Amino acid sequence: MIRFEKVQLRFDTGISLRNLNFKINKDEFVYLHGPSGSGKTSILKMIYMELFPNEGLVEVLDQASSLAKRREIARVRQQVGMVFQDFKLLPDRDIYSNIALPLEIQGLRSDAVHQRVIALADDMGLRSRLAHYPQELSGGEQQRVTMARATINAPAILLADEPTAHLDEKSASEVIQWIWKVHNLGTCVIFATHKEHILKQEPARTLSILAGEIIEDYQR
């Protein structure tokens, strides 16, 4: 499902990632673990085809990013959900509209959108918040909205970039459990974190990253 082969990524400030080689299968849950600045977010952005390698191959859902045209990138992104540490919700849209956005982009009828948004909001305890705006919600609630938006179209891949970074312990635990639930329903998950205790709490395959290189690939 995802393949990196001899990948290097350079910024003007220097090399960010070097000699990345790994594959991720469709049934996997994989942690990207490393300190801030190690390259975790850049890897996720290359999977999403927001960044492109200077050298090597990045292949996602059978599409090589360096060969992808705009419509092919759009096709890949429709199958990839993203959860961010800073939520990235649209402040001028209410919670219903934030969650519904991926379905609206796909052109689903409004009644089908409504049915799926309500069902997911009920499942995630957000039904009473649908008419509110992001700034009216707590951090934990905003992250649940982010996850709902990222998963409402049942993506093949879910990318989670430090999704518990700004949450209290209870909210963080709820986020982690929901992401595992999404994975157990059939979504491939790549979860970037610098927190060692998360790896111990919910063990899975881990790519340890330091200074732009993978120094260890192991299964807990």
pLDDT at residue 167, as a whole number = 87
pLDDT at residue 29, as a whole number = 98
CATH of domain 2-94+155-219: 3.40.50.300
Mean pLDDT on 67-76: 94
pLDDT at residue 166, as a whole number = 83
Mean pLDDT on 61-68: 94
pTM above 0.95, yes or no: no
pLDDT at residue 178, as a whole number = 92
pLDDT digits (tens, 9 = 90+) for 12-36: 877 789 999 999 999 999 999 999 9
Q: What is the residue extent of each domain of the chain?
A: 2-94+155-219
Mean pLDDT on 180-193: 96
pLDDT at residue 86, as a whole number = 81
> Above 90 in pLDDT, residue 98?
yes
CB distance 202 to 176 below 8 Å? yes
Cα dist from 23 to 14, 149, 216, whole Å: 25, 26, 14
Residues 6 or more apart whose CB falls under 8 angstroms from that of 172 comprise 164
Where do the H-state alpha helices sit in 48-204? 70-77, 95-106, 110-123, 139-151, 169-184, 196-201
> Above 90 in pLDDT, residue 186?
yes
pLDDT at residue 12, as a whole number = 81
CB distance 84 to 163 below 8 Å? yes
Mean pLDDT on 71-75: 94
> Above 90 in pLDDT, residue 11?
no
Would you mind telling me the total number of residues written for the chain in this entry?
Answer: 220
> Above 80 in pLDDT, residue 158?
yes
pLDDT digits (tens, 9 = 90+) for 106-157: 899 999 999 999 999 999 999 999 999 999 999 999 999 999 999 999 999 9
The two three-digit tokens of residue 179, written as one number: 């992401």
CA-based nearest residue to 159, from 60, 68, 67: 60
pLDDT digits (tens, 9 = 90+) for 86-95: 888 999 999 9
Mean pLDDT of the residues in the chain: 94
